[in-house]
Chain A
Amino acid sequence: MKRFNGESEEMDNLKASEAKIINGQKRKRAAMKYLFIISIIGFQLVNFVIFYVVQNFNSIIMAFQLKKSGGVIWTFENFSRIYNAFFGSGEKSELMISLTNTFRFFLLGLIMFPVSFVTSYFMYKKVAGHNFFRLVFFLPSILSAVVWTTLYKEIVGPEGPIVKLLMFLRNTDEPMLLLADPKHAIWTVMAYSVWMGIAGNFILYGGALSRIPPEVIEAGQLDGIGWFKEMTHVIVPLIFPTIGMLFLLQLTGIFTASGQILLLTNGAFETNTILFFIFQNVYNVPETSNQYNYASAVGIVFTLLTIPVVFLVRSLLNRIEDVQY
């Protein structure tokens, strides 16, 4: 812009005041923005601070405390109790049984992980009857475990068809107690997980698979690749973000892997797991009890053991490039 002498000073003053107004508006707008953001996420932040940060911090503190003769003392006793449960001599401790079972459930989860993916793949490929399966396979995830376990308990009960079949196969008249015998109980609970788990992540996979452009699949078919190659070389890379995420969640759940213990056996007959062990120390136990502190210590030990696994898997997953489509 051209300036004329004499007018310039006046112009500058004008501009400065304009700038002030604009600055003021900017500041006002920024303030409005923060006001808006705080009003829509403020409560959630408070919630996070209390029920995540404070809660977990408190959990750590509780693990190092015990109530003794009226006062609260700082101690490692909870941890030495855990050490004794694993390495002490004598009978197999409840905690040791819990850990063994937790690993069993974790391994079962690892086996069921590809199974539920393959199931979703076949549904996506419109296997004969897929419309019917699509509807029925919703049932395990939409009906409460309370419903399924109530039915399952009767089906595997002493009068149920499974026991009758096993008695016939073993040629014996003695009914087996599938859920009330330490020899069988844990396997019966795991069988329940398989029964319910075949279509495990079917909803999430279904969503991811439906987004694959059909041209990509057609291109593969034109090249004459078979179903297995199509699944492993086309589908898996295309929906890898979903698979990777679910796999990460599966791995991070090592020590929380658990069947429907509460509903099926209530932890009896050597079916306990770490997660249920902790639950048992809280449920129906007065909140001032020292068991709360012991359970917190158990939680911390296993959380610490999980962290390296989480970081390792995360860094591995981060290295794999996502396919853009």
Chain B
Amino acid sequence: MGFKTSRRNKIKQRGGGEIAVFTVASVIFFIFALTYIVAFLWGVIAGFKTHSDLILNPFSFPESWHPENYLDVFSLLEVNGVNMLGMVLNSFWLVAGGATLSVFGATFMAYAVTKFDFFGKKFLVVVNIIIMTLPIIGALPSRYRLFSAFGFINSPTILLAYFGGFGAFNLYMCAFFRGVSPTYSEAAKIDGANDFVILFRIMLPLAKGILTALLIMEAVSIWNDYNTALVYMPKLPTLATGIYLFNTEMTYRARMDILMAATIISALPPMILYGLGHKSILKNVSLGGIKG
């Protein structure tokens, strides 16, 4: 007991220099955190103004508050004949389909590579390392022509392109499956379960934590992705793309207030998703090294 307390005391001691460094770090973090919060709150307030008020006095409080802006966006934010509801719908199917396909595509690939011996398995591991570390710069022109040849342009079939098996998710899932003891699948096999039953009834439920974390991360990143829809589905703009296009087309229909309101609304789903899942993400997701 005596030893324990003396040990604690020793650990608690921090030199004066150390305290200073930690205080400085804290102050710097606080300044950055404050800029994020103030910028966001400014956006929220800007969404309550009128267009001319926002242009003339961008950084004052509204002359009069216009909460209706946050409802009007749904009809006024329109790009390429798609209004905000349409954009949200496009975002929604792209997020739901894209996140599911890319996470499970990588999960299945990782499961096969870590739990089975088969011809070409080593090759698949090397392919993942190459894909992750060798940057192919500027395959966009070629990709566009391929997408066009497959009829992916302006079509939900683009979701098929999300069903790949490689990348960071593959690494995360390989690390996870390597940590799963083989006794689970052996026990199930003795009970007569086949490979599909083992995968879907045993392995995937075991991976629920990490799968949830990856699905949230991927959902947020697809929700925020303005580039894919901009290039490959301009007639089916997602919300992120729609806001960008609305912004660039502002010259002839200037509604800064609407832009701000839409921007703030678009930020809500990621905030809610992360609010629900951030603990699970910090707990489950870590990137180890890849060697070879």
Contact = CB atoms under 8 A, between A and B. Distances in A.
A125 B14 CA distance: 12
Interface stretch (A8-16, A86-94, A130-138, A177-185): A130-138
Contact of B282 (A203, A248, A307): A203
A47 B26 contact: no
A237 interface: no
Interface residues of B, number: 97
B291 A296 contact: no
Contact of B260 (A59, A150, A240): A150
Interface string A242-260: 1011101100110110000
Given A222-B11, A242-B289, A295 B140 contact: yes
Interface string A145-171: 111101110110101110000000000
Given A48-B127, A51-B161, A281-B141, A160 B240 contact: no
B274 A317 contact: no
A252 B134 contact: yes
Interface in B90-133: 105, 108-109, 111-112, 116, 118, 124, 127, 131-133
Interface residues of A, number: 107
Contacts of B23: 128
A252 B133 contact: yes
A56 B11 contact: no
Contacts of B150: 50
Given A144-B267, A282-B231, A36 B135 contact: no
B10 A222 contact: yes
A22 interface: no
Contact of B270 (A48, A129, A142, A208): A142
B254 interface: no
B138 A48 contact: no
B164 A48 contact: yes
A208 to B, nearest CB: 5
A49 B202 CA distance: 31
Contacts of A37: 112, 116, 118
A241 B22 CA distance: 26
Contacts of A159: 58-59
B290 interface: yes
A152 to B, nearest CB: 7
B288 A245 contact: yes
B165 A41 contact: yes
Contacts of B270: 142-144
A147 B43 contact: yes
A7 to B, nearest CB: 34
B287 interface: yes
A282 B144 contact: yes
A186 interface: no
A26 to B, nearest CB: 14
A278 interface: yes
B196 interface: yes
Contacts of B32: 137, 195, 198-199
Contact of A292 (B133, B145, B243): B145
Interface of B: 7, 10-11, 15, 17-18, 21-23, 25-26, 29-30, 32-33, 35-37, 39-40, 42-43, 46, 58-59, 105, 108-109, 111-112, 116, 118, 124, 127, 131-146, 148, 150, 160-161, 163-166, 194-196, 199, 220, 223-224, 226-227, 230-231, 240, 243-244, 247-248, 259-260, 263-264, 266-267, 270-271, 273-274, 278, 281-292
